[in-house]
Structure 1
Amino acid sequence: MASGKTGKKTWFARKLREWSIAFCENMTNLPEHKFGQFSSSLLSDEDVAGAIHLHLQGLGKWVSANQIARYVRTPEFQARLRVKRNISVRTAQRWMKKMGYRWKKEPKGMYSDGHERADVVNYRQNVFLPQWRDYEASARHWQADASFEEVDHECRMRLFMSDNLDCRPYTIWRQDESIFYANDRRTTRWVHESETAKIRAKGEGASDMIGDFVSPEYGWLRSKRLNVRGEFDDARVLLKPGKKREGYQTTETILAQVTRAMNILDRDYTEDRHVFAYDNATIHTARAPDALSALGMTLGPSNNFNKSNGVYVHMRDATFRDGSAQVLYQANGTTFKGLKVLIQERRAKGHDLPDPDSINPITKKKYLVQCGGSGAFKCRTTMDTKCCLRKMMYSEPDFKNQMSILEEHCQKRGYGVLFFPKFHPELNFIEQCWGYAKRIYRMYPESTSEDDLRANLLDAVASVPIESMRRFATRSSRFGDAYFRGLNGAEAAWANKKYRGHRTLPPSYEEDLREAKTKWPAWKLGPTQK
């Protein structure tokens, strides 16, 4: 009755009965409240909490409540912090929650494999970023709300001084491909208790690949006028990948795609200058069969030099430093002169190269054709550019600056080409556009029809809003600025999250970074940190 009237549970009724019986037996036995008599948690002591937090940081990311319980039991901990009792594993679990730890899947961030590899860092810092920043200096910028931000560029100021100066803004078109799968569907939803497991298809199912160009200024590359079919022209590539289907992208299909893109830009986007940005993949960076290459060059004359796909290809002429042409073949036009003759000709033209017949000052032996013998360059990662004859020729400006067939193709029509560093998808915001589209795609009803797969794919890609694209582009620019300032992959990811919405890092980033490292001692400085 008491529990029903007071709204208390049966526990309170039982306590009343116990108190009544105890009072009847001894009238001095009165129940007393214990408010204010409970002991506080050890974790309320800041010194104890700080010591445990530091201990967990030192253990790395794989920590457990058992480790806290064992650490509290150690004589060193109890003596230093004047703790006299141990704790249970259940108490340690409650402590971890109070300290901000949660038992869940590890949050996913960007991949950093290869970010700090020496050759990748060298290309990123000394080749890609200087070019990228030059283009961005004359490109449109976007505010945090994806609205246009008018910027006064030095190039625009020079417009009044020279009528011949092209001060049109740059538009950087990012290119990439992505594959959509028929069985790629969302798996998290509200499930009724009456539902049981159902039979489902094994594997990812049929696939469809899409390749396209995108920019934060205009979105997906499309013509501004309708064609004769009443449609907008595009440079999009749709392909059913697979050896037994329509194959895969090749250098030839990449050239055909960029040609269509340049045709659209020449016709409808003449108010801008345009640059194409590609991933550093082989089909993008492949060179023409007759392109300059020191790989495979023989020491002396040869009639079997530069074989491509079973056919001997006549390599184009090289260039001396004075701008004149260096013919690589003898008077008959078929016999390769050989490295020894080519280097001697360059020495006669003033090139700073050692005599191929002299002694290598490092090895104290005669110069080899290639370090380590025949095959691929085994010395290409070394800093010495004169360790062998092939490396000497490979390091010459005309060989070193040999463009890919894609660059040559675009340059003929006045378009620039950039290649992102390897392992750096965060610099190409089209990756986030694909992610946005796939999230929408997973919401469509399941279907085994390949026609439905393609229709859903196109609808999902078209659903990516221009405002999101501009925010994605701002995020990529922020990563680029972080790398330019000397941050490594992990530090750049921290800065991108810290200064979300900014296109570049603020002047206070160094102080904020030091403070972050102070709070998290386990976070080590990267090799590229200044």
Structure 2
Amino acid sequence: MRHGILPLNHYGRFNTSILDDEDLAQKIHLHLTGIAKEGYVRAQDVVDVMSTPEMKRYLGTKTGISKRTGQRWLHKMQWRYGKATKGMYLDGHERPDVVEYRKGFLVRMQEYQKRMTTYDRDGNILSHPTGIDIAAGKYPLVEITQDESTFTMYDRRQTKWDHADAKQPEEKNEGPSLMISGMLTQEWGELKHGDQTSRVVFKAGKNRDGYFDNDNLVKQVELSMDIFEEKTHRFKRALFLFDNATSHQKRAPDAPSARKMRKSPKLGWTARPGGPKMRDTVLPDGSIQSFYYPEDHPTMPGWFKGMQAVLDERGLFRYKENGKGLNGECKDFKCPDGATDCCCRRMLFHQPDFVGVKSHLEEVINSCGHLCDFYPKFHCELNYIEQYWGAVKLLYRSGPRLKKMEDMEKQVAACLNDISLVQIQRYANRSARFMDAYRKGLNGPQAVWANRKYHGHRVLPNDIMVTLEAAGKA
């Protein structure tokens, strides 16, 4: 009464948490994040950190917390106990060479997207293609993203209602597999026209269809281009996007390659036994060089020239101080660091016409007037077909138990066809948000957080870094 202030009644005001102290919550979270990088996070880790003298002084208490309180705090800080979910590959996601490639890829995608139709989360058109100039070869673009996924016959849901007296026996192995290689678009979903489909069903295995390699993918791409051109009457161009896998970067059988070249001439030599001869190459000055002597050569008609002759014709072959010529390659091809002219093979490796050889996929696609590009390594979040596979497998695992291969093929096909176009467009928008996040300077974990917060958008706000800082994610 002396101060003219009524005392507060504390009844019902004891439901606040110590974790409402943001500084404390941030310290604990950073500690747990460090543990998660090396191993597993436990509730006991929270108990341990709160029992340190520093934390006791900070809280002004003599005792720590119980394990049950540690579990509640983990939930409050958005940690969840369960099976680890698959996300982006953080092991190489922010590697300097990967980040550098990602920057270039995002610049190219920004240019590509100007010529594409974009859609909102409900399938309505957000923007139409711009900068179209048919005379200059700038046609509207349709993005076609490719990937493979493998289904197994006994792959079932692991979380389900099960009665103690009616447990179903489970198979010990996954059973026979079925691989699907798909081509997905934002415009139409799976690429198909009439009764033609770009989908490839492949029974991988030694005594089955073999293994899906670059040659199989090139055949699928050729079929896809035929379907696309018939569907669009060649008034549009396709942008084919692939994962940056080694098999996708394979060069054409006749492409120039120094990897297996011999130093000296030889009759009938090819890069692969029984394969085609290496095609002629174009030198920086525009002249043509053949790797084989002409058929009317007086002593070696049609022979492979060898690396020494190839370099000599370019004016690059040199002799050592002892009078001997360069070796074909350094021992085990372990050249000195930074060396570019220590051996014949290393010199050819650095020649512009060898460095600039495109992959077989690029050559086939570009020869038909379409575009080809590759996602950055470790960036599955940029390829929206990955979410498509996840949705298909969720349906497949919820289906009936299967025993016959033909039933499995029907079930997989039904699940593939059951994913709606609007779902696919939402997956594409999610990938677009990740691309926009990286353009705005976010790293992998920040991009994941921002994608969840702005899940209804195609791009992130321009002040996203301010939002990250306010949320303690910067």
Return the TM-score normalized by structure 1.
0.74
1:92-491, aligned counterparts within 5 Å?
Answer: 92-97=70-75, 101-126=79-104, 128-151=105-128, 153=130, 155-156=131-132, 159=133, 164-192=135-163, 195-223=165-193, 225=194, 232-270=195-233, 271-299=235-263, 301-303=264-266, 307-311=270-274, 313-330=276-293, 331=297, 332-347=300-315, 356-357=318-319, 369-370=328-329, 372-375=330-333, 378=334, 385=340, 388-491=343-446
1:31-70, aligned counterparts within 5 Å?
Answer: 43-44=17-18, 50-51=23-24, 53-59=26-32, 60-61=35-36, 62-70=40-48
Any unmatched runs of 5+ in structure 2? 1-8
- Tell me the distance in 1 between the aligned counterparts of 2:339 and 2:453: 40
Instruction: Report the CA distance between 1:448 and its aligned residue.
Output: 0.3
What secondary structure, in the 3-state scheme, does the structure 1 residue paired with 2:147 have? strand
What secondary structure, in the 3-state scheme, does the structure 1 residue paired with 2:135 have? coil
**Letter of the aligned partner of 1:111 in structure 2?**
Y
Instruction: Report the CA distance between 1:325 and its aligned residue.
Output: 0.3
Instruction: Report the CA distance between 1:100 and its aligned residue.
Output: 5.1
CA 1:468–1:80: 2 relative to 1, 3 Å: closer
**Letter of the aligned partner of 1:311 in structure 2?**
G
Quick check: 163-172 or 56-65, which moved more?
Answer: 56-65
| 1:307-327 CA-partner distances (Å, limit 9, x unpaired) | 444337532222121211022
1:500 pairs with 2:455: yes
- 8 Å CA contact 2:180–2:201 kept in 1: the answer is yes
- Tell me the distance in 2 between the aligned counterparts of 1:335 and 1:275: 40
What secondary structure, in the 3-state scheme, does the structure 1 residue paired with 2:451 have? helix
- Tell me the distance in 2 between the aligned counterparts of 1:95 and 1:117: 33
| 1:437-492 CA-partner distances (Å, limit 9, x unpaired) | 11112222112021111111111000110011111112222223334455443343
What secondary structure, in the 3-state scheme, does the structure 1 residue paired with 2:229 have? helix
| 1:472-514 CA-partner distances (Å, limit 9, x unpaired) | 1122222233344554433433343343233334321333344
Identity %: 35
**Letter of the aligned partner of 1:181 in structure 2?**
T
What secondary structure, in the 3-state scheme, does the structure 1 residue paired with 2:90 have? coil
- Tell me the distance in 1 between the aligned counterparts of 2:395 and 2:43: 39
Any unmatched runs of 5+ in structure 1? 1-34, 226-231, 348-353, 360-364, 524-530
RMSD: 3.5
- Tell me the distance in 2 between the aligned counterparts of 1:207 and 1:275: 30
1:83 pairs with 2:58: no
- Tell me the distance in 2 between the aligned counterparts of 1:134 and 1:379: 39
Instruction: Report the CA distance between 1:407 and its aligned residue.
Output: 2.4
Larger Rg: 1
CA 1:219–1:393: 2 relative to 1, 3 Å: same
- Tell me the distance in 2 between the aligned counterparts of 1:38 and 1:492: 40
Instruction: Report the CA distance between 1:117 and its aligned residue.
Output: 4.1
Task: Give the number of aligned pairs.
Answer: 453
- Tell me the distance in 1 between the aligned counterparts of 2:354 and 2:310: 13
